[in-house]
Amino acid sequence: MNQYPIFPLFLTTFSIFFLRISLVFSTTTTLPLQLKALLSLKTFLNDPLNTFHDWDPTFSNPGFQPIWCSWSGIKCDRKTAQVTSLDLKNRNLSGTIPAEIRYLSHLNHLNLSGNAFDGPFQAVIFELPYLRALDISHNYFNSTFPPGISKIKHLTFLNAYSNSFTGPLPEEIIHLRFLEYLNLGGSYFDGSIPASFGSFPRLKFLQLSGNALTGQIPAELGFLTQLERLEIGYNEFSGGVPVEFGNLSYLKYLDVSNATLSGNLTPELGNLTRLESLLLFKNRFTGTIPLRYGQLKAIRFLDLSDNRLSGTIPEEFSALKELNQLSFMNNELSGKIPEGIGELPNLETLLLWNNSLTGVLPQTLGSNAKLLAVDVSSNSLTGPIPPTLCVGKKLWKLILFANKFAGEIPSSLVNCTALSRFRIQNNKLNGSIPYGFGLLSNLTFMDLSKNNFSGEIPKDLGNAARLEYLNISENSFNSRLPENIWSAPNLQIFLATYSKLVGKIPDFIGCQSLYKIQLEGNNLSGSIPWDIDHCEKLISLNFRHNSLTGIIPWEISTLSSITDVDLSHNLLTGTIPSNFANCSTLESFNVSFNQLTGPIPSSGTMFPNLHPSSFIGNEGLCGRIFRKPCGNGGLSDGEVEVRKQPKKTAGAIVWIVAAAFGIGLFVLIAGSRCFHVKYSRRFSDDREIGPWKLTAFQRLNFTADDVVDCLSMTDKILGMGSTGTVYKAEMPGGDIIAVKKLWGKQKETLRRRRGVLAEVDVLGNVRHRNIVRLLGCCSNCESTMLLYEYMPNGSLDDLLHGKSKGENLVADWLTRYKIALGVAQGICYLHHDCDPV
C-alpha cells in the first residue's frame, strides 16, 4: 500500500522541474533581446551629457544578475532578471526611440520626462503590454497624440504634461479602465473636453490646464466619483462651473482659474467637504459669493480674485478654521470685513486689495501668530492698524496704502523681524515714526508718504541694512533730516518731498547706492554739501522749492550717471559752473528762480538745446540763450556778438557769391538726399534721424553716440520679435549691453512717442533681482532703442527649452523650481510692490 503514492509524487516533482526549466528557458531567450533594446537606446539617442557612460556590456557584474541590471536608470526583477523599470528623466536626451524598445516586454515603469525629445510621439511604446506608468512630460513631442494607447490595458499613470501636442484630446484614453492619474496639460490641445472623460471609473487626478480648449466644461466630469484633484484652468471655456461638480465628494483640489468662465459662482461647490483648495481666480464671474462656501470645512486655499464679484464677504467664512490663504483681490466687493476673519487660527495670507471694502480691519488679525502677508490696499478701510499683525514675527509683507486708516503706527511692528515690504502711504495716519524700523534686517521697501506724520525722523533708518526704497513725502515732520540718512548701504531711492523738513541737507556720507534723491517743496536751508560726488550712482537730483543758499557745487557735474538736476526756486548765488558743459549724460537742468549771475554755458551736448525757462528768475544771468551779452558785448564761452554791418568790399562780394554757391549746392545735395531717403526707407530699417537723446537710469560709461556707432558696426543679433530686434553691443569702454531697437513708424505721432518714452521712464525705475534691469533709453524723432543688461547665459527660454535640437542646457528640477519662483517673485513685485513713478 505504501507504493501507490509514489507515482503522483513523481508527477508533481516532474511538473515543478518542467516549469522551472521552461521559466529558465524563457528568461534566457529574452535576456539577449533586452540587451539589444538597451544598447539600441544608447545608440539611437543623442546623449550630450554622456549619461549612458556606464551602459557598457564589457564591464563585469559581481552579482548574479545580468550586467545591465546594475546600469543607471534600470531596475530588474530579482527572480527573472527582466527589466521592469527604465528611468531616463532629466538627461537632455533627444532623437528617435528605437523600435527595439518593445523587447523590454516586462517593463512596467517608463520615465522619459525632462528631456529634449521632439517630433511625433513614437507609438512603439504602446507595444509594451505590462506598462503601468508612462511619463513623457517636459519634452517637445508635437503633432497629434498617436493612436494605440488603449493597448496598454493596465496603465494606471500617464503624464504627458508640457509638450506641444495639437489637435483634439485623445478620446481613446477612456478605454484605460485602470487609469488613476492623467495629465495632458501644458500643450496645444484644442476643441472641447470629451464628455466621455467623465467615464473613468478609478481616476483620481485629471490635469488638462494650459491648453487651447474651448466650449463648455462637460457636466459628465462630475461623475468621476473617485476624483481627488481636478485642474482644467488656463483654457478658454464658456459658461460656468457645472453644478454636477458638487457631487465630487472626494475632491481635494479644484483649479479652474484663468479660463474665461462667466456667470455666477456655483453654490453646489459648497458641498465639497473634503475640498482643500478652490482656485477660480482670473475669470469673469459676477454676482455674490455663495454663503454655502462657508461650509467648506477643510478649505485651506480660497482664491476668487480678479473677477467681478460684488456684495459682501459672508460672515460664514469666520468658521473656516483650516483656512491658510484668503484672496478676493481685484473685485467689486463692499461692506465690512467679518470680525471673525481676524480670529481664524491658521490664516497666513489675506489679500483683499482693490475692492470697495469699508469699516475697520479686524483688530485681532495676526493674533494667531501665523500671519505672513496682508494686502488690503485700495479700499476705504478706516480705524487704526491692528496691533496684533506681527505677534508671530513672521509677517513679511504689509500693504495698506490708499485707505483711510487713522491713528499711529503700532509700535509692535518694529519687532517684526521678517518684514520686507511695508507700504502704508495715502492714509490718515499721524504721530511719529517709531524707532526701530531701521533695525529690521529684512526691510527693503518702506513707503510712509501722504499721511500726517510729525516729529523727528528716526536716525536708525540710516542703519537699515537692506533698505532700498524710502518714501516719507507729504507729511508734516517740521524736523531735520538725520545726519546719517544717506548711510543705509543699499538705499537707492529717497523721496521726501513736501514734508516740512527744515535745517541743512546732511553731508553725503555713505551714499554709494543712491540713484534718486527728491527733497522738493521743503524749507531746507544752507548750502548743498560739496561731497555730493560721493553718490557715484546718482541719476536724478531734485532740490527745488527750498531755501538753499550758497553756490552750485561743481562736483555735481562730475557724477558720471547724472541725467536730471533741478535746483530751481531756491536762493542759490554765484555762477553756473562751466564744468556742466562737459557733463555728457546730463539731459535736464533747471536752476530757474535763484540769484545766479554770470554766463550760461553754451557748449556741450545739452545747454544749446535748453529752453530759457530753465534759467529765468535769475536777473544776473547772461548768455546766448537770453540773447543778453555778458560784458563788453561778448557772449559766453568766448563767442562774440557781431553788431556792426561790414563794408561791402570786393572781398565781401566774393564771399557773398561763394556763400550763394554753397547754399545752392547744399539745396541740391539735400534734395537728392531726401529723394534717396524717401525711396530707400522701404529697404532699410536701420536709418536713424538725429540728434539722439540718452536717458540713463543708472551710471553709464558711454553716450548715445557710442551706442549708435556700435550698432552701425555690429551684426550680432541676439533675437528678433514682434516689437523689435535685440543686438549685442560692446561699448568703447568694454561694457557689453543688449540693445533692443523697437520697430516704429517713420511718421510716428509726437503724442505716441512721448507716451512710449514716459513708460520707459517708469520702467527705468524698476529694481528687482529677478527683472532684467533697463539701463537707459536712446531716442530721436523716429527711433527708440532700449538698453538692457547683457545676459551672457541667454534667455530663460533657451535654458528651459534649448536654442535648437540637442542644445538644451537641461535645468534640473531644482533649478526649474528656482526659475519659476524667481519669475513669480518678479511678477509679484511688479503687480504689488513696484511704485517706480
Residues 768 and 666 in one domain: no
User: Who contacts 610 (Cβ-Cβ below 8 Å, separation ≥6)?
Assistant: 589, 625
Q: Is the dihedral of CA 806, 807, 809, 811 positive or negative?
A: negative
Question: Could you give the CA distance from residue 481 to residue 479 in angstroms, rounded to a whole number?
Answer: 7
Q: Is 159 exposed, middle or buried (0-12, 13-18, 19+ CB in 10 A)?
A: buried
Residues 805 and 774 in one domain: yes
Residues 675 and 697 in one domain: no
- Between 14-28, 367-381, 698-712, 766-780, the lowest mean confidence (pLDDT) is in 14-28
Residues 720 and 751 in one domain: yes
Question: Could you give the CA distance from residue 265 to residue 245 in angstroms, rounded to a whole number?
Answer: 12
> What is the pLDDT at residue 605?
76
Average pLDDT for residues 664-668, to the nearest whole number?
39
User: Who contacts 539 (Cβ-Cβ below 8 Å, separation ≥6)?
Assistant: 515, 516, 561, 562, 563, 564, 696, 697, 698, 699
Residues 716 and 677 in one domain: no
How confident is the prediction for the chain on average, in pLDDT? 85
- What letter does residue 91 receive in the DSSP assignment? S
Residue 783 lies in a domain: yes
CB 212 within 8 A of CB 236: yes
Average pLDDT for residues 138-166, to the nearest whole number?
96
> What is the pLDDT at residue 60?
63
CB 165 within 8 A of CB 142: yes
Cell match 556778438: residue? 641
> What is the pLDDT at residue 722?
52
Question: Could you give the CA distance from residue 596 to residue 575 in angstroms, rounded to a whole number?
Answer: 6
User: Which CATH number covers residue 158?
Assistant: 3.80.10.10
pLDDT category, 661, cuts 50, 70, 90? very low
The span from the first CA to the last CA of the chain, in angstroms, equals 108
Among residues 267, 270, 236, the alpha carbon closest in space to that of 251 is found at: 270
CA angle, residues 697, 703, 708, in degrees to nearest 5 = 110
**57-84 pLDDT per residue, tens:** 887 665 557 889 999 999 999 888 999 9
User: Who contacts 436 (Cβ-Cβ below 8 Å, separation ≥6)?
Assistant: 411, 414, 415, 458, 460
* Number of domains the chain contains: 3
pLDDT category, 6, cuts 50, 70, 90? very low
Among residues 104, 87, 88, the alpha carbon closest in space to that of 46 is found at: 88
CA–centroid distance for 798 within its chain: 17
What secondary structure does DSSP assign to 379-413, as a single string?
SEEEEPPPTTTTTTS---EEE--SSEEEEPPPGGG
pLDDT category, 626, cuts 50, 70, 90? confident
**Residue after which a domain boundary falls, among 175, 199, 228:** 175
**309-360 pLDDT per residue, tens:** 999 999 999 999 999 999 999 999 999 999 999 999 999 999 999 999 999 9
Residue 791 lies in a domain: yes
**563-602 pLDDT per residue, tens:** 999 999 999 999 999 999 888 888 899 999 999 999 998 8
Q: How many CB atoms lie within 10 A of CB 666?
A: 10
Q: Is 423 exposed, middle or buried (0-12, 13-18, 19+ CB in 10 A)?
A: buried
User: Which CATH number covers residue 751?
Assistant: 3.30.200.20
pLDDT category, 1, cuts 50, 70, 90? very low
pLDDT category, 784, cuts 50, 70, 90? confident
pLDDT at position 15 over 60: no
Residues 807 and 680 in one domain: no
Question: Could you give the CA distance from residue 97 to residue 111 in angstroms, rounded to a whole number?
Answer: 13
> What is the pLDDT at residue 706?
80
Question: Could you give the CA distance from residue 729 to residue 714 in angstroms, rounded to a whole number?
Answer: 7
Q: Which of 101-115, 722-736, 762-776 has the highest mean pLDDT?
A: 101-115
Cis peptide upstream of residue 691 (ω within 30 degrees of 0): yes
Residues 738 and 778 in one domain: yes
Residues 660 and 707 in one domain: no
Share of the chain above pLDDT 90, in %: 66
CB 69 within 8 A of CB 93: no
> What is the pLDDT at residue 333?
98
- Between 124-138, 351-365, 655-669, the lowest mean confidence (pLDDT) is in 655-669
> What is the pLDDT at residue 631?
73
More confident residue, 483 or 763: 483
Residue 65 lies in a domain: yes
Average pLDDT for residues 80-100, to the nearest whole number?
95
Helix (H) or strand (E) holding 254: strand 253-255
Residue 773 lies in a domain: yes
User: Who contacts 706 (Cβ-Cβ below 8 Å, separation ≥6)?
Assistant: 731, 732
pLDDT category, 653, cuts 50, 70, 90? very low
pLDDT at position 147 over 90: yes
Type of residue found at 34: Q
More confident residue, 788 or 391: 391
Share of the chain above pLDDT 70, in %: 78
Residue 434 lies in a domain: no
pLDDT category, 651, cuts 50, 70, 90? very low
**Residue after which a domain boundary falls, among 148, 175, 202:** 175
**Residue after which a domain boundary falls, among 145, 175, 205:** 175
Residue 147 lies in a domain: yes
pLDDT at position 837 over 70: no
pTM recorded for the entire structure:
0.75
Residue 798 lies in a domain: yes
- What letter does residue 462 receive in the DSSP assignment? G
Among residues 164, 132, 129, the alpha carbon closest in space to that of 148 is found at: 129
β-pairing verdict for 301-303 and 334-336: unpaired
Question: Could you give the CA distance from residue 417 to residue 349 in angstroms, rounded to a whole number?
Answer: 17
Per the annotation, does 79 bind a ligand?
Answer: no
pLDDT at position 367 over 80: yes
> What is the pLDDT at residue 796?
67
- Between 21-25, 282-286, 749-753, the lowest mean confidence (pLDDT) is in 21-25
CB 143 within 8 A of CB 120: yes
CB 659 within 8 A of CB 743: no
Cell match 553709464: residue? 700
Among left, alpha and beta (phi > 0; psi -120 to 50; other), residue 359 is: left
Question: Could you give the CA distance from residue 685 to residue 741 in angstroms, rounded to a whole number?
Answer: 10
384-389 contacts at long range (C-beta below 8 A, 24 or more positions apart): 384/360, 384/408, 384/410, 385/361, 385/409, 385/410, 385/413, 385/424, 385/429, 386/342, 386/361, 386/362, 386/410, 387/363, 387/412, 388/342, 388/363, 388/364, 388/412, 389/365, 389/413, 389/416
Helix (H) or strand (E) holding 742: strand 736-742
Among residues 500, 540, 539, 505, the alpha carbon closest in space to that of 523 is found at: 500
Question: Could you give the CA distance from residue 295 to residue 315 in angstroms, rounded to a whole number?
Answer: 11
pLDDT category, 694, cuts 50, 70, 90? confident
- What letter does residue 35 receive in the DSSP assignment? H
Look up residue 336 and give its three cell numbers.
Answer: 465690512
Residues 662 and 704 in one domain: no
Question: Could you give the CA distance from residue 755 to residue 761 in angstroms, rounded to a whole number?
Answer: 10
Q: Which of 188-192, 637-641, 716-720, 824-828 has the highest mean pLDDT?
A: 188-192
Residue 809 φ/ψ, nearest 5 degrees = -80, -10
Residues 661 and 724 in one domain: no
Among residues 262, 115, 253, the alpha carbon closest in space to that of 812 is found at: 115
> What is the pLDDT at residue 754?
54
Domain that holds residue 807: 693-833
**668-685 pLDDT per residue, tens:** 334 434 333 333 333 334
> What is the pLDDT at residue 530?
95
**703-754 pLDDT per residue, tens:** 777 888 777 665 566 775 656 778 888 877 777 888 888 755 444 444 455 5
Helix (H) or strand (E) holding 827: helix 813-828
- Between 118-132, 598-612, 811-825, the lowest mean confidence (pLDDT) is in 811-825
Residue 85 lies in a domain: yes
pLDDT category, 93, cuts 50, 70, 90? very high
CA dihedral 577, 581, 585, 586 (to 10 degrees): 60
Look up residue 701 and give its three cell numbers.
Answer: 560709461
Residues 759 and 680 in one domain: no
Residues 120 and 149 in one domain: yes
- Between 216-220, 351-355, 380-384, 799-803, the lowest mean confidence (pLDDT) is in 799-803
User: Who contacts 513 (Cβ-Cβ below 8 Å, separation ≥6)?
Assistant: 468, 489, 490, 491, 492, 537
**226-243 pLDDT per residue, tens:** 999 999 999 999 999 999
Whats the size of the chain, residue-wise? 837
> In Å, what is the CA distance from 599 to each residue of 315, 387, 574?
72, 59, 10
